[in-house]
Structure 1
Amino acid sequence: MLRYYLDLQKLRFPQKFTYQLTHDENLETDEILIPVMLLQPIIENAIEHGFKEKQEGGELLIYFQKSDNQLAISIKDNGVGMPTCEEKTEIQHGKHRSMSGQILQDRIRLLSKQSSFPVGIEFDSKPNVGTDVSLRMLLKYA
C-alpha cells in the first residue's frame, strides 16, 4: 500500500523526488502486519513539507529490517528538515499549524495502550540536510 501511495505522490510531483522502498532479505513482507496510517503521515510530511522548496532532487529512502523480535523502519529524506522550536512557534501563531506530529504521537500512544503494540519513534533532523525517522515495533504476523 505504501508503494501505491508513493506512486500517487510521484504523479502529483513528477520531478520533485525519487524514492527507494527496500527491506532486509530475511523479512517476509507478505506476512508482517503494520498498523494502518502509521507510516503515511511521516512520508507525507517528507514530501509535502521537506521537499516543499525543491523543484527536483528530493530523495526518500524507506528501509525495513528485522532486529531480534522487532521490526525496525528507517525513513530518511534530504528535505529542509523539521522546524526548530522558534520556527514551530512562528508557524503555530501564523496561518498554518501542523497537527501531524501530534496526531502521530496520539496514534502511537493509543496503539501502545489498546493493543499492546508498543511503537518507539525517534526523529533526527538537521536544517537543509533532511530528517531521519526511526520506528521500532514488535513483529506481528498475519
Structure 2
Amino acid sequence: MASIFYVLTLLTVLLLLRLLYQQRKKYLRLEGRMEVLSARLSPHFFSNSLNAIESLINLDQKRAASKYLIHFSHLMRKVLLASRGQTTSLSKELAITKHYLAMEELRFKSKFNYQMKISVELKTDCIVVPSLIFQPFLEQAICERIVQNELPSLLSLETKREGSYLCCIITDELIGHGNTALPRVSTKHRSEHSLLKFANRQLLGQEDTKVEVSDLRNENNEVCGTRTLLWLPYKISSHE
C-alpha cells in the first residue's frame, strides 16, 4: 500500500509541475506580447494623435481631421490585432505602416512626403515578419530627424528579397537640395552609434536579424538623410 501511495504522490507532484510549467509558458507569451505592444508604440504617439485631430478641427480643416481620424481608428484596430502575436504577415504589417504614414503626413503637411516600394516578387500575404517592426524606425525618422530640418524630406520604405533575408530599406532624404549647401542639421540624433543602439533595442529578442545604418550624402559630401537597412529572415507561413 505504501508503495502505491508514494507512486500516486509522485504522479500528482509531476502533474502539478507540468501544469505550473504550462501556465508559466502562457504567462511568458502574454508578457512578451505586451512588451511588443509597449515597445513598438510610443506613449506620446496617442496624445500627439489626439492633439493633431483637435488642431485640425480648430483650424476648421474638417476634411483633414476626418481623414486623420479614419486612419487613426484603422491603425489602432490593426495594431491591437497584431499585438496578439509576435509575428504577422508582411501585408498586414504594410497596412499598419500605410495608415501610420498617412496620419503623420497629414500632421506634418509641409515637412515630408512618403512612398512605399514593394518588390513585385514578394507574396506579402505569406511572408512572416515580427509584429509592428517598421513603425518605431519610421517614428524616429519623422520625430527626431525630419521635423528638425528646414527643408522637406522624402521618407521611403522599400522591401525586397535578398537571398535568405527580407531586406527592408528605410530612408529619409531632404527634397530639393540638389548639390547646393544645406542648412545646418542637428547631429543630436544622427550619429550612427545612437541609431544602431536604437535599432538594437527594437530588434531585441528577434533571432537572426541584422541592421545597418548609414548617412546619405550629396555631391558636397554633406549629410542629406539617413538609410536604415533591416535584414529579417525570409520566412513563409506554414499555412501557405
Determine if the TM-score, normalized by the shorter chain, exceeds 0.5: yes
Query: In 2, are the aligned partners of 1:15 and 1:55 still within 8 Å (CA)?
Result: no
Select the structure that is richer in strand: 1
1:125 is displaced (CA, Å) by 2.1
Give 3-state SS (helix, strand or coil) of 2:205's partner: helix
1:101 is displaced (CA, Å) by 5.8
Identity, in percent, stands at 24
For CA contacts below 8 A with separation 6 or more, give which structure has more relative contact order: 1
> Normalising to structure 1: TM-score of the pair?
0.74
Q: Distance in 2 between matches of 1:16 and 1:102?
A: 26
* Match for residue 215 of structure 2 among 125, 129, 137: 125
Give 3-state SS (helix, strand or coil) of 2:230's partner: strand
Query: In 1, are the aligned partners of 2:153 and 2:172 still within 8 Å (CA)?
Result: yes
Unaligned runs of at least 5 residues, structure 2: 1-95, 175-184, 217-221
Relative to structure 1, the CA distance from residue 74 to residue 36 in structure 2 (aligned partners, 3 Å threshold; closer, same or farther) is: same
- Which contiguous aligned blocks of 4+ residues in structure 1 show a shift greater than 6 angstroms? none
Give the aligned partner of residue 4 of structure 1: 99
Q: Distance in 2 between matches of 1:69 and 1:44?
A: 27
Unaligned runs of at least 5 residues, structure 1: 89-97, 113-117
Q: Distance in 2 between matches of 1:38 and 1:18?
A: 21
> Normalising to structure 2: TM-score of the pair?
0.46
Select the structure that is richer in helix: 2
* Match for residue 28 of structure 1 among 123, 129, 132: 123
Relative to structure 1, the CA distance from residue 71 to residue 31 in structure 2 (aligned partners, 3 Å threshold; closer, same or farther) is: same
Give the aligned partner of residue 235 of structure 2: 140
Moved more, 125-134 or 102-111: 102-111
1:137 is displaced (CA, Å) by 1.5
Query: In 1, are the aligned partners of 2:122 and 2:160 still within 8 Å (CA)?
Result: yes
CA RMSD in angstroms, aligned pairs only = 2.5
State yes or no: 1:52 paired with 2:147. Answer: yes
Q: Distance in 1 between matches of 2:200 and 2:104?
A: 24
Larger Rg, first or second structure (1 or 2): 2
Query: In 1, are the aligned partners of 2:173 and 2:225 still within 8 Å (CA)?
Result: yes
- Residue by residue over 1:7-64, the C-alpha shift from the partner in whole angstroms, topping out at 9 and shown as x without a partner, is 1111211221011101111111122222123221111111111112335521012110
Give the aligned partner of residue 14 of structure 2: none
- Residue by residue over 1:74-127, the C-alpha shift from the partner in whole angstroms, topping out at 9 and shown as x without a partner, is 111115574348xx9xxxxxxxxx8x8645413423112xxxxx1100000256
What number of residue pairs does the alignment pair up? Answer: 125
Relative to structure 1, the CA distance from residue 121 to residue 7 in structure 2 (aligned partners, 3 Å threshold; closer, same or farther) is: same
Relative to structure 1, the CA distance from residue 106 to residue 56 in structure 2 (aligned partners, 3 Å threshold; closer, same or farther) is: closer
Give 3-state SS (helix, strand or coil) of 1:129's partner: strand
1:59-74 aligned at under 5 Å gives the runs 59-74=154-169
Relative to structure 1, the CA distance from residue 56 to residue 129 in structure 2 (aligned partners, 3 Å threshold; closer, same or farther) is: closer
